[in-house]
Amino acid sequence: MAAGQLDFGIDHVGLLEEHLAAEGEAILRIELVGGRFLYAIRLLLSPRSFNLCPADYCELPGIADGVSGRSLPIEAYDPPPAIVDEARRLVAAAGMDVGGVENVVNARDGYHYFYDLNALSNFVADAPTVIRFSLYVDLVDLILERAIDAVSAA
């Protein structure tokens, strides 16, 4: 760094992050709508990849292709209530009505580390197969509730 060989862009700020080995080679996402827990998923990590996106447009070749032996990289997950509560607090502190909160369980110490809040969630693809229900009803209910509240307040 002293030699000035790293380009930190126009603001000259560099960010270093510690890589945490993910327990079970998976990251976790908790989705909340209106402060209510909607669902959680485990995203199985691919070897030699840093793809943490659970949306269908982020699929990598060689996964669930009928050839590689790997199954779908996403599965339903039942998080501990304390982790859901922490996700709820993070979303509320950010002032978000809808949010995905991503975390990883560190393989070295077993603790959950939260690393991402997504206000514009890319809900899990093929929800009825993965989480066994359609989540859009909850989202529409929240939108209608907010619209009715706005009309009532006017």
- pLDDT value at residue 66: 44
Q: What is the mean pLDDT of residues 123-148?
A: 70
Domains annotated for the chain, with CATH where assigned, are 23-153 (3.30.470.20)
- Convert the pLDDT of each residue in 62-77 to its tens digit: 554 444 444 557 788 9
Res. 85 pLDDT band, cuts 50 70 90: very high
pLDDT at 141 over 60: yes
Q: What is the pTM of this model?
A: 0.69
Integer Cα distance of 102 and 94 in angstroms = 14
For residue 32, give the nearest of 76, 86, 73 by alpha carbon.
86
Q: Cβ atoms within 10 A of the Cβ of 31, count?
A: 26
Residues 23-54 pLDDT 10s: 988 989 998 988 989 889 888 887 655 555 55
- Report how far residue 46's alpha carbon sits from residue 70's, in angstroms, rounded to the nearest whole number: 9
